Amino acid sequence: MLKILGIVAAVIVVAVAGILIYAATKPDTFRVQRSVAIKAPPERIVALIQDLHGWAAWSPYEKKDPGMKRTFSGAQSGKGAIYEWDGDKNVGTGRMEILEAGPGKVVIKLDFMKPFEAHNTAEFMLLPQADSTTNVTWAMYGPSPYVAKIMQTFISMDKMVGTDFEAGLRSLKAVAEKNP
């Protein structure tokens, strides 16, 4: 019996060591992005993005916890606009601040406090096309600390966040194309 327990313990130690070594080989940064073509001018779309009060109309994260507490401060919209939230386990606690807002780009400092602390950048890039559409790319990028690398051995960050970005971009498209 002790021999079997010793073998099981050795297998567990080797498996854990393998996971830790594998996690150490992952990149030190991550980037997740998705894109969509929206039949609207960049000015109309960027107005929806840089007004944090209006994110409830299209952001997938707003729908995950309708009862979350929201606080707005700073500028009304655009550079300096701040949005803080405190929600359930689906959205956690965090803060966004628009660092840059223009016709072709919105850059947001994104700080998560709960359930895990993380400091990333969200970016919306808008590229007008010849056929009166705008290609909109929503990206998030930042550092991958070792704990995040371990989590990424089991959970695909690209799939998890990318699915939310796809849903958000579909909603943004619907809102932008509906409101001329």
- Report pLDDT digits (tens) over 99-142: 999 889 999 999 999 988 889 999 999 999 988 899 999 999 99
Model confidence at 89, in pLDDT bands (50, 70, 90)?
A: confident
Supply the pLDDT for residue 23: 63
Which residues are registered as beta bridge partners of 38?
A: 134
Q: What's the count of helices (H) and strands (E) in the chain, helices before strands?
A: 5, 7
Above pLDDT 70, what percent of the chain? 92
Per-residue tokens: 133: 């559409």
Supply the pLDDT for residue 110: 96
Burial class of residue 17 (count of CB atoms within 10 Å of its CB; 0-12, 13-18, 19+):
exposed
Look at residue 20 and tell me whether its pLDDT is greater than 70: no
Distance separating alpha carbons of residues 162 and 64, to the nearest angstrom: 15
Distance separating alpha carbons of residues 141 and 157, to the nearest angstrom: 11
User: Is residue 126 a contact partner of residue 103, using CB atoms and an 8 Å limit?
Assistant: yes
Above pLDDT 90, what percent of the chain? 56
Distance separating alpha carbons of residues 127 and 123, to the nearest angstrom: 13
Burial class of residue 173 (count of CB atoms within 10 Å of its CB; 0-12, 13-18, 19+):
buried
Ramachandran area for residue 48 (φ above 0: left; ψ -120 to 50: alpha; else beta): alpha
CA atoms within 13 A on the CB side of 39: 6
The pTM score is 0.83
Distance separating alpha carbons of residues 111 and 115, to the nearest angstrom: 12
Amino acid at 21: I
Supply the pLDDT for residue 179: 62
